């Protein structure tokens, strides 16, 4: 985390002079993000805004709105399309069924790191250029590290122990919970803490970093090492197409180069945040629960229908889900 912090500090110092530039003829944009300002993913978004101003020589200036102050998590994408904000960051999974190609990235394929998952998300977009994102200008994608099961009332080391528990989950993670025998409850991350605290849900499917980033370690007690079926959640950073077209070609090129750098930084930040989140969880008295090898095999087998369901569902939209899934699985081997 120290290395990333130093990098962010250097970026901040180098770009401070550009933060308030608003030259005549420049384009001024708004950026909406649901992450709170203290979250590392929010800090990176803020720094990206400053770097855009620097790389474009002040031709593009961005006002940043974290914490859902401009648009909430589930409305973020439509907010960009409709021009409520010019740029937005949120989860594709919050609009279930709307992004059928990119949804394949979130399947429980046993992700090992945020770096791997982030590279995969961008590779899938570049490979398939899905029409589902044609109403915006994608900047880049990033994805968190292994999504695991965390529970409050009791530890879960077997499928039988998961049965009957209500688990906060979204998108494909919700389908995973159902396949494993739990009861999925669709909720965005900002509502998770209160729901867990009040017992509305018994647990949550989330990346390890959320224990610190969203303070969930204060309201869960056990973490299941469900790595064999670890999923990810793909986050988008997209811009309103009309606003993108207002930006001069040289600035567009500079932004696209910056996007490649920043996607990598987000992936590394997820991994560093996972390490911090795990330690925070343990410090709060949390206990990690391992899966025995034979039990892990049962979880993998139980999760297979999620993959088949994806293939069957997207085929109705004339999308070759098997081709996408095969590509991801072969690419994952390269990215391990």
Distances (CA, A) of 56 to 4, 250, 266: 24, 8, 21
Instruction: Please report the pLDDT score of residue 4 as a whole number.
Output: 53
**38 vs 260: CA distance, rounded Å:** 24
Question: What's the pLDDT tens digit per position in 239-293?
Answer: 999 999 999 999 999 999 999 999 999 999 999 999 999 999 999 999 999 999 9
Q: Cβ distance 191 to 74 under 8 Å?
A: no
Instruction: Please report the pLDDT score of residue 277 as a whole number.
Output: 97
Instruction: Please report the pLDDT score of residue 336 as a whole number.
Output: 72
Report residue 281: phi and psi, to 5°.
-60, -45
> Is the four-CA dihedral 46, 252, 124, 115 of positive or negative sign?
negative
Instruction: Please report the pLDDT score of residue 335 as a whole number.
Output: 83
**246 vs 28: CA distance, rounded Å:** 10
Instruction: Please report the pLDDT score of residue 94 as a whole number.
Output: 85
The continuous run of DSSP H or E covering 77 comes out as helix 76-82
pLDDT in 10s for each residue of the chain, 336 residues: 545 554 554 444 444 434 443 444 699 999 999 999 998 999 999 999 999 999 999 999 999 999 999 999 999 999 999 999 999 999 998 887 899 999 999 999 999 999 999 999 999 999 999 999 999 999 999 999 999 999 999 999 999 999 999 999 987 889 999 999 999 999 888 899 999 999 999 999 999 999 998 999 999 999 999 999 999 999 999 999 999 999 999 999 999 999 999 999 999 999 999 999 999 999 999 999 999 999 999 999 999 999 999 999 999 999 999 999 999 999 988 887
Torsion of CA 291, 161, 147, 219, to 10 degrees: -120
Domains (ranges, CATH) in the chain? 2-92+129-141+234-275 (3.40.190.170), 147-231+285-335 (3.40.190.170)
Q: Cβ distance 150 to 204 under 8 Å?
A: yes
Beta strands in 79-182, from DSSP E residues, in sequence order: 87-91, 136-143, 147-151, 166-168
Token reading at 191: 């509502």
Specify the 3-state DSSP secondary structure of 101: coil
Instruction: Please report the pLDDT score of residue 77 as a whole number.
Output: 97
Report residue 152: phi and psi, to 5°.
-105, -50
> Is the four-CA dihedral 295, 298, 302, 307 of positive or negative sign?
positive
Order of all β-strands in the sheet with 27-33: 60-65, 27-33, 87-91, 234-240, 136-143
Residue 15 CB-half CA count within 13 A: 22
- The pTM score is 0.84
Q: Cβ distance 187 to 168 under 8 Å?
A: yes
Q: How many CB atoms lie within 10 A of CB 318?
A: 6
Q: How many CB atoms lie within 10 A of CB 192?
A: 24
Q: Cβ distance 151 to 221 under 8 Å?
A: yes
**115 vs 20: CA distance, rounded Å:** 32
The continuous run of DSSP H or E covering 98 comes out as none
């Amino acid at each position: 985390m120290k290395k990333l912090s130093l990098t962010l500090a250097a970026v901040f110092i180098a770009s401070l002079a550009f933060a308030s530039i608003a030259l005549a003829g420049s384009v001024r944009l708004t950026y909406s993000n649901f992450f709170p300002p203290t979250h590392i993913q929010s800090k990176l978004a803020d720094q990206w805004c400053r770097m855009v101003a620097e790389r474009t020589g002040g031709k593009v200036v961005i006002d940043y709105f974290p914490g859902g102050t401009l648009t909430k998590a589930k409305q973020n994408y439509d907010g960009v399309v409709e021009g409520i904000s010019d740029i937005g960051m949120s989860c594709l999974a919050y609009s279930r069924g709307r992004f059928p190609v990119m949804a394949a990235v979130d399947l429980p394929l046993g992700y090992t790191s945020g770096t791997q998952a982030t590279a995969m998300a961008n590779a899938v977009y570049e490979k398939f250029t899905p029409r589902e994102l044609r109403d915006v200008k994608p900047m880049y994608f990033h994805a968190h590290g292994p999504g695991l099961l965390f529970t409050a009332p009791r530890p879960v080391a077997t499928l039988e122990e998961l049965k009957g528990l209500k688990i906060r989950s979204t998108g494909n993670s919700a389908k995973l919970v159902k396949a494993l025998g739990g009861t999925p409850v669709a909720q965005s991350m900002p509502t998770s803490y209160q729901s867990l605290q009040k017992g509305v849900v018994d647990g949550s499917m989330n990346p390890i970093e959320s224990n610190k980033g969203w303070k969930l370690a204060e309201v869960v007690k056990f973490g299941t090492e469900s790595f064999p079926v670890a999923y990810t959640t793909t986050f988008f950073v997209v811009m309103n197409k009309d606003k993108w077209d207002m930006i001069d070609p040289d600035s567009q090129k500079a932004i696209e180069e910056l996007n490649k750098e920043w996607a990598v930084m987000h992936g590394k930040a997820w991994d560093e945040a996972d390490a911090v989140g795990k330690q925070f969880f343990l410090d709060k008295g949390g206990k990690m629960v391992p899966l025995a090898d034979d039990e892990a095999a049962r979880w993998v087998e139980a999760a297979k229908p999620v993959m088949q369901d994806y293939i069957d569902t997207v085929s109705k939209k004339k999308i070759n889900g098997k081709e996408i899934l095969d590509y991801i699985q072969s690419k994952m081997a390269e990215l391990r």
